[in-house]
């Protein structure tokens, strides 16, 4: 459902189709994405509460390490290859998202009480 809806949305936006059905479809798609995001966050928080402190610590260490590595790599890239001022929002936003995904993505779909 998600892939088909995304394809239809891209087609509507790319072709600049402007009618009432396409507008309602796009609004419904945005609402669907928002509700899925809320579900994903709630499921992740519930599954984090089921983990042992040792597992949470490992995940936090993985998050911090990947965030520092990705941020450092981006800062070095901007420093050497782009002569303009470093945009810290562009450096830290992708690093934060990727690090959160690396560390906590599987918790939204996991039902195990303790992770091995």
The number of domains in the chain is 2
* Same domain for 39 and 11: yes
The pLDDT tens digits of the residues spanning 52-100 come to 999 889 999 999 999 999 999 988 888 888 767 778 888 899 999 999 8
Reported as a single tens digit per residue, the pLDDT across 9-58 is 999 999 988 899 999 999 999 999 999 889 888 988 888 888 899 988 99
Domain final residue pick, 13, 32, 49: 49
In the prediction, which pLDDT does 83 show?
A: 67
2 and 42 both lie in a single domain: yes
Beta strand segments in 4-110, E: none
Residues 38 and 62 occupy one common structural domain: no
Residue 64, domain extent: 51-116
Tell me what pLDDT residue 116 has.
46
Q: Which of 46, 39, 97, 52 is nearest to 70 (CA)?
A: 97
């Amino acid at each position: 459902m998600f892939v088909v809806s995304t394809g239809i949305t891209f087609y509507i936006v790319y072709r600049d189709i402007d009618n009432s059905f396409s507008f309602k479809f796009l609004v419904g798609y945005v609402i669907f994405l928002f509700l899925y995001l809320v579900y994903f966050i709630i499921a992740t928080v519930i599954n984090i509460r089921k983990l042992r402190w040792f597992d949470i610590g490992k995940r936090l260490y993985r998050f911090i390490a990947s965030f520092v590595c990705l941020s450092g790599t981006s800062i070095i890239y901007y420093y050497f290859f782009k002569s303009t001022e470093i945009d810290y929002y562009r450096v830290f936003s992708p690093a934060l998202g990727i690090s959160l995904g690396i560390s906590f993505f599987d918790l939204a779909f996991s039902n195990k009480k303790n992770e091995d």
